[in-house]
Structure 1
Amino acid sequence: MRILVVGAGATGGYFGARLQQAGRDVTFLVRPGRAEVLRGRGLRITGLGDDTVLTPRLVTAATVDGRYDVVLVSVKATALPAAIEDVAAAVGPGTTVVPFLNGMAHLAALNARFGADAVLGGVVRVLTTLNAEGDIVRLGTPADIVIGEQRGGASARVERVAEVLSGAGFDVAVAPDILRAMWHKWVFISTLGALNTLVRGAVGDAVAVTGGDDLGPRIAAEAAAVAAAAGHPVPEPVLGQVRAFVTRAGSADTASLYRDLAAGQPTEAEQIFGDLTARARAFGVPTPLLDAATVALRVHERRLAAGAGPAGTPRSEPAAAA
């Protein structure tokens, strides 16, 4: 299968590189600026003893070379509208689109443009970030992909896609209920992101102060209540893992959204928090802590739109979670 990876950042670049290493037919659709970096330095993965340098096959929106069998969409939600237009020429009647974005709103946008039958659901877990040189830095060992049909159940198509993604150095699974898996990832990433945003620091910063060890679990309870109201309750063992993650003493973990916030960059505030809290209101579920994080992020976005810099900087340089 011809595979097109839309975006070659910390997530798409990592999985695309591993697929290329495994001998798959991989092309990256990138913006001109990113293309220049990759042509000059190569696609590099470092960290945890890794030192990989690949020469990626690149196209831009202006040079898309025909239709692809599988399109992996791995961009920030804020870049999704432009990415949809950029990739349109690569999507044909037989193309399967697999998005790796947080939240749920992206499915509606992709379904509207390409049709729900062409779009799978997807969840990824990877601990990577981009450094100042544009290289992908591994911060932790987990790396896996879960995909599935939006309507649920099994299909020959999703099994074929899973097969072509497998055997590349990361785990691949097919979920019979991918929307459930996506909601559970949403609970995790919104809990972590809200905690980071409210304390302006990493998990360990929150846990180190009186009352901080209770904040993460309270946020998780709010997010889980929204998921349950949406028909996707989080099992207690899974919710327990979320609580454990956001109460680890000394943890330097943060969400990638928070790193964007700390760096004074646009965040996925509306896609992760605005959408979640709007659904909470529609369900009649109170989410005061998630609401507070949403307002804080909206203030940040408003400052950026007005040309002002972020107010304050974090005291720690934590790891990223995507």
Structure 2
Amino acid sequence: MVYGAGAVGGVIGARLFQQGHDVTLIARGAQYEAVRDRGLRLDTPEESVTLPVPVVDRPSKVTFQPDDVVLLAMKTQDTLPALAELAAVAPPYIVVACAQNGVENERLALRRFARVYGICVLLPSAFSEPGVVEAYLAPQTGSLDVGRYPAGTDGPAESLAAAFAGATFASKARPDIMRYKYGKLVSNLNNAVEVVIGPGEQGADIERLAREEGEACLRAAGIDAAAGVAIVSRIRPIRGRERGGGSSYQSLRRGTGSIETDYLNGEIVLLGREHGVPTPVNDLLRRLANRMAHEGLQPGLMTPEEFLAALDGPAPG
């Protein structure tokens, strides 16, 4: 089961389905209706294919089996209600694997399920319209390293890694998967920069400052973060169209009303407050991105100069 069939979940589900795996998507609203009625279309730099992937609109529509795996692929702010729905109908021994950014989802899942796995996701993708997902890396679709939470590898981790590796992803079973997820967390601090400043090089200085704060907080907390993994792929256009911004940028563009910033930049703010490390850049990015999502604003609220000036005073209203 792939619970959350947006950009990341839709692409992972589509690739696994292409390789003959027994995949069911759990989707909502227009995405559920489109996939139910027309199938899931996967667009990549190398192909466009519509796949008849089974889809349901809630976990209670699934008949669970002992060896089932549930991949969580929703944004972190949606994980708690999703887990509550899942735990109400799924046996507690199923495998739950978090194909999500940030480092909070695994802790949330472990409260309800005993077998929890982290997946470090490197998958530039997009959810452009209902029923359509896009994957911009080729020839490998992305990287999905996996490990048991909080640490270790075992049969399910090895099996998941093998399934991903056979479905055009780079994937290894790693006993220290959270090191890689903390490393990915630091790179994801730029998501809010794309929202507040806009995508591209214009926000490079703000991104650098956010990363420096993040790295300082991890050091103070004694958290070892691994560098990103290398894959044999590059981002390529799809039918002449370049990928826009990352997942937070896409959330704002779609007007979802919520954003993941509290669990990315907000994770750094939390660590900073716990360990006495100032995090003004990440806190301002967090506050501004949340306000923009709440008010339905589009990316590019201010220039880098305006952002730096706001660090010395209240955020613009």
TM-score (norm 2): 0.81
How big is the shift at 1:28?
1.2
Change (3 A) 1:154 1:107: closer
* Residues in 1 aligned to 2:98 and 2:225: alpha-carbon distance in whole angstroms: 22
1:167-182 paired onto structure 2 within 5 Å: 167-182=166-181
The DSSP-based 3-state class of the residue aligned with 1:124 is strand
For 1:310, the aligned partner's letter is: L
What are the within-5 Å matches in structure 2 for residues 41-190 of structure 1?
A: 41-61=38-58, 62-67=60-65, 69-88=68-87, 91-114=90-113, 117-141=114-138, 142-190=141-189
Residue 297 of structure 2 aligns with which residue? 310
Residue 215 of structure 1 deviates from its aligned partner by 3.0
Q: What residue is the counterpart of 1:214 in the other structure?
A: 205
Answer whether contact 2:127 2:134 (CA < 8 A) is retained.
yes
Structure 1 residues 90, 167: CA separation in 2 closer, same or farther (over 3 Å shift)? farther
Gaps of 5+ in 1: 207-212, 242-250, 316-322
Q: Which moved more, 1:39-48 or 1:148-157?
A: 148-157
Aligned-pair CA distance for 1:294: 1.2
Tell me the equivalent position of 2:255: 264
CA distance in 2, matches of 1:260, 1:309: 10
Cα 1:198/1:57, change in 2 over 3 Å: closer
Conservation of the 8 A alpha-carbon contact between 1:224 and 1:233: no
Would the aligned equivalents of 1:71 and 1:98 in 2 still touch at CA under 8 Å? yes
How many Å separate the matches in 1 of 2:195 and 2:298? 12
Superposition map of 1:280-295 within 5 A: 280-295=272-287
1:232 counterpart = 2:223: yes
Provide the rounded CA distance (Å) in 2 between the counterparts of 1:5 and 1:110.
15
**2:218 and 2:271 in contact (8 A); partners too:** no
Q: Do the aligned partners of 1:187 and 1:227 also contact (CA within 8 Å) in 2?
A: no
Partner of 1:209: none
> Which residue identity does 1:294 align to in structure 2?
R
How far 1:234 moved relative to its partner?
A: 4.1
Q: 1:275 aligns with which of 258, 267, 279?
A: 267
1:223 maps to 214
Distance 1:88 1:140 in 2: 34
CA drift at 1:105: 1.8
In the TM superposition, what is the alpha-carbon distance from 1:122 to its structure 2 partner?
1.5
Give the whole-Å Cα distance in 2 for the aligned partners of 1:314 and 1:298. Answer: 12
Please state whether the residue corresponding to 1:129 is helix, strand or coil: strand
Q: Which runs of 5+ in 2 are unaligned?
A: 231-241, 303-317
Moved more, 12-21 or 91-100: 91-100
Residue by residue over 1:166-214, the C-alpha shift from the partner in whole angstroms, topping out at 9 and shown as x without a partner, is: 3111111111211111101100001x12322342x112333xxxxxx43
Partner of 1:244: none
Instruction: Give the counterpart letter for 1:162 in structure 2.
Output: A
1:5 equivalent in structure 2:
2
Say if 2:147 and 2:157, in contact at 8 Å, map to a contact too: yes
Is residue 2:288 matched to residue 1:296? yes
Note closer, same or farther for the CA distance 1:202–1:224 as it changes in structure 2 (3 Å cut).
Answer: same
Alpha-carbon distance change, 217 to 32 in structure 1, aligned in 2, over 3 angstroms: closer
Answer yes or no: is 1:36 the counterpart of 2:33.
yes
